[in-house]
Structure 1
Amino acid sequence: MKNKWLLAALLAGNSWFGGGATDVDPVIMRVNNKDIHKSEFEYIYNKNSQQQIDHKSLDEYVTLFKNYKLKVAEAEAMGIDTTSAFKNELAGYREELAKPYLIDASVDDRLAHEAYDRMKEDVEVSHILIGLNARTPEDRAEAKKKAESVLAEIKAGEDFGMLAEKFSEDGSRQNKGYLGFIRGGRTVYPFEKAAFALQAGEVSDIVETQFGYHIIKVHSRRPNPGEFLFSHIMILVPRGASDEVKAQKESEIRAIYEELKSGADFATMAKERSEDKASAVRGGELPWVSSGQFVKEFEDAAFALKNKGDITEPVLSPYGWHIIKLMDRRDIKPFEQMRSEITRMMARDERGSMARNAMVAK
C-alpha cells in the first residue's frame, strides 16, 4: 500500500512542474529516519531509466530505491565508506561514469562522418616507408633524414616506383611500393588523412606513423563500388615453376574455361577442379569483399564484371590462374547502419583520443 500511495504522489506530481502547487517537493518516504524528497527520487530515477514514467516501472524502481538507501545507511553505520577498498571501488565507478562526459560529441560526430565519407571512396596508393626499428632520438632523426633525402629525389624527377624498390623497408618494395586501393579505416589514421588529401598524381610530404616515415603517392581515386560476392576456380602455379610447368597450368585453366563456355556448371567445376580447396567445397564461393582485399591482377578482372553470372577469361595472379564469377553485389550501407562499426574502428586508432583531447583542451 505504501508503494501505491507513493506512485500516486509521483504520477500526480507530473502536473506540478508547470503549475502552482504549494508543496512542490514533498517528502515521499523515510528511510532510516531520513526524509527522502520527491526531487531526489525523480532525479535518480531519470538518470537511471530510459523508460517513460508509468505504474509498472515506478513500482519496481521504488523497491530498488528503498533497498539501495537501506544498504547505504547500513554501510555508513558499519564504517565501510571509510575503507580503502570502498574508496578505490567508488573511484572506479566515478571514472567510468565520467568517461562519456569527457568526450566532445561534436568532434566525435564529425570524425564518424568523415570516416564514413572516406569509406565511400577508393584511393589507389603507393608508398615508400623508412621504418623505425630503433626508438632513440638519434635513430628517429636518422630515419627522417633518409626519408627527406628520398623525397628530394622524387621532387627532382626520379621515378617513384624505382625509389620504392630501392629504399622502402616493407613488403611493398617487391611491387615498387604499390599498395592498391584503400578507403577509410583500412590504414592508420595519419596515413589515411594524408592519402585522402592528395589528388591523382600527387606525392605527399613525409608522413609519420607508428611504423615510421612514409612518402605517399596517389595514382587514382574512384567511388567505392560496394561489396561483391565472387566465386572462382583456381589452378595454382608454384613459385619458381619451370616454363614447362607454367605452360601445363595454363593449358589446364584454358581447358576448364572452354568447358564453362560450353555450358558446364561453375560450382561443379570448382568442386572438382579448383585447387583452392577452402573455396572449392563451397563451389568456389569466396566471402563478401570490397576493393583493396585482393591482389591487383585478381581485383582488376573481378571488379570489371558487370552482371551477375558473368565470368572472366583466365586471369594470372602471383598465386596462379583464376576464372572468376560474379555472384552478387551490394552498395555501402547507410551511415546509421554502420555507425557502431565506425565507432569501434575509431576506438582502435588515433581518432579514439581526438574527441577526448578536444574536450580537455576546452
Structure 2
Amino acid sequence: MLLGFLLLVGFVLLSRQEYQSPADAELNKRVRYLERVIREGAGAGTDLAGINSQNPEWALFSLSFTAYALASRAQQQPALRPEAARYVAQAVAQALQPPIRSAFEPMAATASPIDTTGSVLYLGHLNLMLGCLRQLDPATRYSGLHDTLSGALYRRYGRALGGCLESYAGQRWVPDNTVALASLALHSQLTGSPYHRAARRWVARARQHYLDPKTGVLASQVDAQGQPQEEARGSMVGWSIWFLARFDPEFARQQYQRYQQHFSTNLGVLRLYRERAGAYTTSAGDLDSGPLLLGYSMPANAFAFADAVALHDQRNAQRLHRLIALGRRSVESPTELRYAVRFLDLPVSPLAEALLLYAECPVVR
C-alpha cells in the first residue's frame, strides 16, 4: 500500500517537472564539436562529407541549424558573439561551395552567382543563415547577398499562385517554405524592409487552404494552386511549427495544440508523437520519418520537443526530453560533446547534434 502510494506520488511529480536548459558548460562543449565540423568543411573524410553522401539535404541542415544555434547562443551569452559570427560566416561560405550547393544547383561553380529562382529549400536556409550572420555582424560582407536573396524571395512569393515555392520541380513542401518566410521576417527585423508581409499573407492563405479538414493541422505538401497534395505528417508539421514560431507565434501555438491533440499520446512522464494521425503501424517508414514503431517516429518527437521549448511549454518539453535521452548516448572528449543513437548504428551526427542544440537554445524575443 505504502509502496504503491510512493510510486504514484513519484509518477505525479515526474509528470509535472518542467524542462531546464542544459548547463553552459555542456552547451559549450557541444558548440565546440559543431565548430570543428564547420572548420573541417565538406572535403573527403570529414563528418560533413559523410553525411552529405547519405543525403545532401542533411549536410545543408547540419550547417544551417548550427548557424541558428550559434546565433541563439550568442543572444543568450553576448560574450560569444564574435566567435559565433566567425563560425556562422564559415558555415555560410561552406553552404555556398559546390559540395553543398550543387545538390540544389547542379551547374553551380564556386564563383557563380546564386540562382535566386531555384529551390526554396536551399535558398530559405541560406537566407536565414545570412540573416543570423547579419544579426551577429551588421558589417558582414554578405549583407548584399542577404538583401538580394531576400528581395528575390519576396517577389517570388508575390507571384506564387498557390502561395508556396518549389523545393524541387513540382514539389512544394510546406516546411521548407516556413524556413524561407522566417528568413524574410528576420530581414525585416534587421533592416526595416517590408518583406515580413509575405509571411503575413502566407499565414492567411494557410489558414484558409493548407489545413487538413479533420485535424486542422498543416498539410505537408501543396500543389501549384495551393491545394494539399499530401496529408499532415508529424515530421513535417513539427518542423513547420518550429519556424512558424519565429514569425507568427499565435499560429504556431494553434498548430502545436492541434498537433498534440491529434498526433500524440500522453503517458504522463513521457509523450509520444506519431507520424500520421490515428496510424499505429510499424514499418521501415521513409526518408523523412525514419523507422516507425507503432506509428511513432523519431523526427516527429524531436521536432515536437523543439516546438515545446520554442513555445515555452516546459512540462511537455521535459516529457519529450526524457524520451530523447532514452534514445541517445554521449560521445565525449575533453573539449567536445556530441550525441549518437543508442541501440542502433545510425551515423546521424552532425545533423542530430545541430538540430538538438538549436532546439535547446531557443530564439530570444
TM-score category by the smaller chain? under 0.3
For normalisation by structure 1, the TM-score amounts to: 0.24
Higher strand share: 1
- Taking structure 2 as the reference length, the TM-score comes to 0.24
Larger Rg: 1
Instruction: Name the structure, 1 or 2, with higher relative contact order (CA <8 Å, separation 6+).
Output: 2
